[in-house]
């Protein structure tokens, strides 16, 4: 069969399954998630053997040790997948929640009921544990899912999916609820992205290149996360101890992730006092600091920041630092160079904090906290399917609720329109 027909068949199977998955009871979905967790652990040897095939190919291709690490299904990663599924089972079921019922003048009661989106397409790279994480979240939220991982992890992804489906079948989850695309042909993604009748939303997880490719080709709505260029603004009224602790934590605690800080903005009123203190800590942590002209007047031995450093997602121990003339300049800088991910103000001034929170429309805006808290678990969503940096449907970290929508429900007693 052709690639196009293969993908169309996967889409139709998912659409058919989605109607049944949407009506599954919470108990049955939780039973399946717990059974999946058990079976992943019971079949760890099988998973590791299949994973070894991917690792062998990867080593032959000479991929980096960081990539190899991401690709590996160790016992720790397998236990993590199982634990993740159990945590999702423990979360409240978003489906069926009814809110805001109000009575209209004609007696109609109008409210909203939360329902699944239908069929979710996940396109991802490298980490085979995404297969279990995403499948669990989609099932719990009543959706069917089509998973398309990278070719470098194909044996691992198919093995994880076969274990999940064995558990799903044992519990009576409809066939087709969880599907992994088994072909590694690049064209399969393009065919998937045409299936607007079968797939309700595409969530790509990976580098900016993958995401731009998906947006370019897709006829289906895409929830996007291009990059995380997070800013911390040290206000003139900051508590300097908090400011130093947060500016260090946001940069060095885990520099390779999207919610780490990439640019530090410092009010000129506090720069002379604050910058030398934080710079000591940055030197200890091995952070390369690139500063604007004003920063260099205070920290003479740092690198020059060039135009491309503003808005750059370094993802390593490099930091751009700019001295600004008050909060409005900081906000203007964030608007010009930011990625709508996460920004934090450090201040003890009530009005400054209020204006920053109201004036910055990134997906997460913080006061006196490290940008590293910007993820679904830390913000209390219980889980995370991704982070959206575009405003439609979801903005910021996405939990189970982001995989659902609301329909209107109307209870009448024979009303007709005059």
Q: Where in 242-307 does DSSP place strands (E)? A: 261-267, 288-291, 303-304
Residues within window 332-361 making contact with a second copy, judged by CB under 8 A: 335, 344, 357-359, 361
Q: For residue 387, which phi and psi values (nearest 5 degrees)?
A: -125, 130
- 329-337's contacts with Cβ under 8 Å and 24+ in sequence apart are 330/231, 330/233, 330/265, 330/267, 331/356, 331/359, 331/360, 333/231, 333/263, 333/265, 334/231, 334/233, 334/265, 334/360, 334/362, 336/310, 336/311, 337/229, 337/263, 337/310, 337/311
Of 283, 288, 373, 382, the one binding a second copy by CB under 8 A: 373
Nearest-angstrom CA–CA distance, 298 and 357:
29
Bridge partner list, 178: 145
> Does residue 393 bind a second copy (CB under 8 A)?
yes
Nearest-angstrom CA–CA distance, 195 and 183:
17
> Does residue 12 bind a second copy (CB under 8 A)?
no
For a second copy, the closer CB: 112 or 169: 112
Residues 6+ apart with CB under 8 A from 117: 141, 143, 200, 201, 403, 404, 405
Of 141, 395, 399, 400, the one binding a second copy by CB under 8 A: 395
Which DSSP helix (H) or strand (E) runs through 148?
A: strand 144-148
For a second copy, the closer CB: 79 or 361: 361
> Does residue 417 bind a second copy (CB under 8 A)?
yes
> Does residue 415 bind a second copy (CB under 8 A)?
yes
> Does residue 99 bind a second copy (CB under 8 A)?
no
For a second copy, the closer CB: 118 or 128: 118
Site string for a second copy, 180-209 (x = CB under 8 A): --------------------xx--------
CA distances from 241 to 236, 245, 247, 347 (A): 13, 6, 10, 11
For a second copy, the closer CB: 76 or 417: 417
Of 121, 176, 386, 397, the one binding a second copy by CB under 8 A: 397
Q: For residue 323, which phi and psi values (nearest 5 degrees)?
A: -90, 130
Of 3, 110, 210, 315, the one binding a second copy by CB under 8 A: 110
- Find the shortest distance in angstroms from Cβ 158 to a second copy: 29
> Does residue 79 bind a second copy (CB under 8 A)?
no
Candidate ranges 4-12, 50-58, 177-185, 401-409; the one touching a second copy (CB under 8 A): 401-409
Task: Beginning with the edge strand found earlier in the chain, give each strand of the sheet holding 144-148 in spatial order.
Answer: 178-180, 144-148, 119-124, 201-205
For a second copy, the closer CB: 72 or 402: 402
> Does residue 367 bind a second copy (CB under 8 A)?
yes
CA distances from 143 to 188, 401, 404, 406 (A): 21, 12, 8, 14
For a second copy, the closer CB: 51 or 260: 260
Residues within window 209-248 making contact with a second copy, judged by CB under 8 A: 215-216, 219, 221, 239, 241-242, 245-246, 248
- Find the shortest distance in angstroms from Cβ 106 to a second copy: 8
Residues within window 300-339 making contact with a second copy, judged by CB under 8 A: 335
Closest CA to 181 of 193, 169, 173, 189: 189
Query: Exposure string (b/e) for 130-168, b if CB count within 10 Å is 16 or more?
Result: bbbbbbbbbbbbbbbbbbbbbebbbbbbbbbbbbbbebb
Site string for a second copy, 144-183 (x = CB under 8 A): ----------------------------------------
Given a contact cutoff of 8 angstroms between Cβ atoms, the answer to whether 50 and 159 are in contact is yes
- Find the shortest distance in angstroms from Cβ 53 to a second copy: 36
Of 51, 156, 198, 249, the one binding a second copy by CB under 8 A: 249
Nearest-angstrom CA–CA distance, 259 and 227:
9
Of 362, 383, 399, 400, the one binding a second copy by CB under 8 A: 362
For a second copy, the closer CB: 117 or 153: 117
Contact positions toward a second copy, by CB under 8 A?
19, 22-23, 96, 102, 104, 108, 110, 113, 115-118, 200-201, 215-216, 219, 221, 239, 241-242, 245-246, 248-250, 253, 335, 344, 357-359, 361-370, 372-374, 378-380, 390-393, 395-397, 405-417
């Amino acid at each position: 069969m052709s690639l196009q027909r293969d993908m169309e068949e996967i889409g139709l199977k998912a659409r058919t399954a989605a109607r049944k998955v949407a009506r599954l009871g919470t108990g049955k979905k939780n039973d399946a998630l717990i059974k999946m967790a058990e079976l992943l652990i019971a079949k760890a040897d099988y998973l590791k053997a299949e994973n070894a095939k991917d690792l062998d190919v990867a080593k032959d291709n000479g991929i980096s040790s960081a990539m190899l690490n991401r690709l590996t299904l160790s016992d720790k990663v397998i236990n993590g997948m199982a634990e993740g599924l159990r945590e999702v089972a423990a979360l409240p079921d978003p489906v069926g929640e009814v809110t805001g019922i109000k009575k209209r003048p004609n007696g109609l009661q109008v409210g909203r009921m939360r329902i699944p989106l239908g069929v979710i397409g996940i396109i991802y790279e490298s980490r085979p544990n995404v297969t279990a994480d995403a499948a669990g979240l989609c099932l719990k939220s009543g959706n069917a899912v089509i998973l398309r991982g990278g070719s470098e992890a194909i044996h691992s992804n198919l093995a994880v999916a076969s274990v999940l489906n064995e558990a799903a079948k044992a519990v009576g989850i409809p066939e087709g609820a969880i599907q992994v695309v088994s072909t590694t042909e690049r064209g399969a993604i393009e065919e998937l992205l045409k299936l607007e009748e079968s797939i309700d939303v595409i969530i790509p997880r990976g580098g900016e290149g993958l995401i731009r490719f998906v947006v370019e080709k897709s006829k289906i709505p895409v929830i996007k996360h291009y990059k995380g260029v997070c800013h911390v603004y040290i206000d003139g009224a900051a508590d300097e101890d908090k400011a130093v602790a947060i500016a260090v934590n946001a940069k060095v605690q885990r520099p390779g992730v999207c919610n780490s800080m990439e640019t530090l903005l410092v009010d000129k009123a506090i720069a002379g006092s604050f910058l030398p203190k934080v710079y000591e800590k940055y030197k200890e942590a091995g952070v390369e600091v690139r500063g604007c002209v004003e920063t260099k007047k205070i920290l003479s031995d740092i690198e020059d920041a060039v135009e491309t450093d503003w808005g750059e997602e370094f993802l390593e121990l490099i930091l751009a630092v700019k001295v600004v003339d008050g909060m409005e300049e900081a906000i203007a800088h964030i608007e010009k160079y930011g990625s709508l991910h996460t920004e934090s103000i450090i201040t003890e001034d009530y009005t400054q904090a209020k204006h920053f929170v109201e004036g910055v429309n990134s997906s997460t805006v913080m006061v006196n906290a490290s940008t590293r808290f910007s993820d679904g678990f830390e913000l209390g969503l219980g889980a995370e399917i991704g982070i959206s940096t575009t405003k439609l449907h979801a903005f910021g970290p996405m939990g189970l609720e982001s995989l659902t929508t609301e329909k209107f429900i109307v209870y009448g007693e024979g009303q007709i329109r005059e």
